[in-house]
Amino acid sequence: MKNSTHQSSTQRRTLLLLDPYPPNHPYRMTASERRTIWFPKLSLPVIAAHTPPDWDVKLVDEAVQEINFDEPCDLVGLSVMTCYAPRAYEIAAEFRRRGKPVVLGGVHPTYCPDEALRHCDAVVCGEAEDLWPHVIADVEAGTLKPIYRMSDFPSLSNYQRPRIDLLSPDAYMTRLCTFTTRGCHFDCEFCSVSPFNGKTTRRRPVPEVIAEIQHAKEWLRSAIIDRMTRGSVWNALATSLRIWVGIEEGSIVAFVDDLHNSHRAYCRELWQALKSLNIKWGCQATLFLGDDRDMVKLAADSGCVSVFVGMESLLEESLDETNKGFNQVRKFEDQIKMFHDHGIMVNPGIVFGFDNDDESVFEATLNFLIRNHVELAYFNILTPLPGTALFERYTREGRIFDYDWAKYDGKHVVFKPKRMTPEQLQEGFYWANHEFYSLSSIWSRLRHTKGRFIPRLQMNYEFRKLVKRTCPHGRLSPIARILKDLHGKLPTVETSQLIPNALQAIKQNVHPSSQQELFLNIRARQHDMFTALLIELEGTLDQLNAKELLRRISQAAKQANMDIIVNFEHLRQATPGALQTLLDTNMVQRIRPYAKLRYRKLKEAFLSAWQEVVPPDQDLLEEGP
C-alpha cells in the first residue's frame, strides 16, 4: 500500500470518485445536450453514500468536467462500463504514477477482473455497497486486497440515500435520480443486467423511496431558489419560465431501475404514494405494461410522463432469438397507443444486428416508429458485452472480430452479422439516426403529442444536433428496399381443403380456426452462397396470398436483377388453389424476363396434391441457380 494511506487517524482523508469518459469521444455531448437529454449514473453517488463520514468525498463525471490528476486525495475509485474501460485504465495509470491507490468497480471489472487488475490496485466485483466499507477499512489499515467479491446481494432496506448533491449542478436534465428495484427476472441474451444484478427482482420499501424523493426535491428546490436570488432579475425570470414549461433541471424525477414495473402490487403501492409528491417522473418499463389500462392510468395520475421501453426489434424471430419473446410485435401499436392516450411519452430502445435482421430492418423500423408517433428512440447496434450469453455464443462461433472495448458502446459493429455485412449494419445504424431525427420525422411524430410539447420538442432538437454533429450520413443498399417490400405477414382467408406440409410431419390437418395458422409470413434475404434472393414462407398459404406473393416476386425481380428462390420447407399448409396459382404458367412467365424463379421443396412438401395440379416447367423446381 502506498504511503498516502498511512495517516493519522485524526486527519481527514479524501476519496476521489471518477466516472470516466474519453475527452475525444466522437459522441461527446455539449452542455445543452446533456442538460436536455441526459441524466447521471447513480453508481458513484451510491458509493459516496456508503463511505464513512470521516472521509471527504469528491465526485467527477468526466463527461461534464476535466479531471485534475494532481487533485489531493488518498484513494481513487472508478466505476467502469466496458466501452469506457480503456479510458479508465489511462486514468488509473496517471494516478498510480502519482502514488495514489486506485480501485476499479462496475460491470466490466466484475467480468474481466484479471484484465482490470493489471491497471489498478484493487477490483470490486459485483454490487459494491456491502464491500465498500471493507475496502475503506483496508485502505486505512494499509492492507488493501487485490479483489473483493460480493457473496450476497446487498439488502435494499434502510438504504443509504445516493449523494446526488455531489453531482455537478446544471449539468444534466435532472439530478433527481433514484431507484426502486434491482435485478431482472428476464434473461435477454444481450443484456448484462440479470447476470450482474441477479435474475430475481429486489425492491426497496416504498416509504423509504418516498422519503428520499421528498428530501431530494426539497434540497434541489432550495438550490434553485438560492441560484435565482443570487443572480440577476432576468436570470430569475428565465429560470421561472424554464420551470413553467418543464425544461429546468429537476422538472422530472428519473427512476433508473432496469425494470421498474417488475411487480404489479409494488408498483400500485408506489405509484399511489407518489401522488402526494406532485412530481413528474419517468422510468424504464416493459412495453406490455401498456396492456393494463388501469395500471397505465395510475402511473399517469401519479405523475408519469415518460417511459423508456426495451422494444428492441419489430421481428418476432429476433425477439425469440434474444429470449425476449414476452415482447409481442402484434401488440406494439395498441400498447404504444395506451401510453399516448394517457399523455405518457414512449421512448423505445431499438437494437439492430440480430441474426434475423437484414437490411430491410432499418426502413421497416423507422416507418413503424414514425407511423406510431413515437416521441424519441434510442438506436443501438447489437453488442456482445463481456458477461453476457451473447458474448459467450459469439466467442464460440468465432464471430467477434474487434476486441477494442472502446467500440463496445452500441454504436460500432464488432461482430459478423448473419444476414448483412458489418458495413451494411453500420451504415444502416447511421441512416436510421439521421432519418428519425430529420425535421419531417420530428414534425410527424410530435404534432400528435399530448402535453409537455416544449420539452419533447427540445429533446428532439438536441438529439438532432447530436446526430448531425457526431453521426456520419449512412446509406442503404438498393437491396434493402427490395427486401422490405418482399417481407410481409398476410392474413389467410380461404381455409377450406387445407393440405398439410409433409415435411413438417403433420399427421392431420390443423383446424382452420387455429389463430396461429391464419396468416402467411414472408421473409426474404440474400442467399448465403448464390447471387439470389431467398424467400422463406411460414404459416398458411391460400390463393389470394399466392397471388400477392407472385406480385411481390415480380416487382422484386424487376428491381433486383437476381434469381429468386422460394423455400416451402417451413410452410405449414396450403390450399389446392394456392398451388395452382404458384404453378400457373402465365403468371410465372411474367417474371421470367427479369429473373429465374425456383421453388424449393414444393413437390416434397405437398406430394399428396401434386397430381391434381398442372405439371410445371421442371426448371421451376430446381433448387439452385
Q: Is the pLDDT of residue 512 over 60?
A: no
Report the distance separating Cα 453 and Cα 457, nearest Å: 6
Q: Is residue 289 part of a domain?
A: yes
178 neighbors 204 (Cβ within 8 angstroms)? no
Asked if residue 388 is part of any domain, the answer here is yes
Question: Do 181 and 142 fall into the same domain?
Answer: no
Average pLDDT over residues 77-94: 98
Asked whether residue 398 is domain-assigned, the answer is: yes
Chosen domain end from 444, 476, 508 = 476
The answer to whether residues 194 and 95 belong to one domain is: no
Evaluate if residue 558 carries a pLDDT over 70: yes
Q: 462 and 489 share a domain?
A: no
How far is it, in rounded angstroms, from Cα 570 to Cα 503?
8
Separation between Cα atoms, residue 1 and residue 191, nearest integer Å = 36
Question: Could you tell me if 322 and 432 lie in one domain?
Answer: yes
Q: Could you tell me if 386 and 456 lie in one domain?
A: yes
Query: In 3-state terms, the chain is what percent helix, strand and coil (to 5)?
Result: 45, 15, 40
Whether residue 265 sits in one domain with residue 224: yes
Q: Is 99 domain-assigned?
A: yes
Listing DSSP states for 465-532 in one string gives HHHHHHSPPP---HHHHHHHHH-EEEE----TT-EE-GGGT--SPPPTT-GGGSEEEEEEEE-SSSSE
Name the band, by pLDDT with cuts 50, 70 and 90, for residue 614: low
- Supply the CATH number for residue 185's domain: 3.20.20.70
Q: In the predicted model, what is the mean pLDDT of the chain?
A: 89
**Containing structural domain, residue 65:** 3-149
The SS3 assignment for 105 reads strand
Within its chain, how far is the Cα of 53 from the centroid?
A: 38
CA distance 39 to 174: 6
Can you give the pLDDT at residue 529?
Answer: 66
Query: Total domain count for the chain?
Result: 3
Q: What is the CATH number of the domain that holds 16?
A: 3.40.50.280
Q: How many other C-beta atoms can be found within 10 angstroms of the C-beta atom of residue 228?
A: 17
- Same domain (yes/no): 418, 533: no
Residues 457 and 334 in one domain: yes
Q: How high is the pLDDT of residue 624?
A: 55
Least confident of 16-30, 372-386, 553-567: 553-567
Same domain, 351 and 454: yes
Predicted structure pTM score: 0.86
Q: Tell me, what DSSP letter sits at residue 333?
A: H
Cell matching residue 570: 417451413
- Confirm whether 461 is domain-assigned: yes
Q: 551 and 451 in one domain?
A: no
Give residues with Cβ within 8 angstroms of 282, minimum separation 6.
252, 253, 254, 255, 304, 305, 306, 307, 308, 345
Shared domain check, 236 and 275: yes
Q: Last residue of a domain, which of 476, 492, 517?
A: 476
In a domain, 452, yes or no: yes
CATH number of the domain bearing residue 538: 3.30.750.24
Q: Is residue 156 domain-resident?
A: no
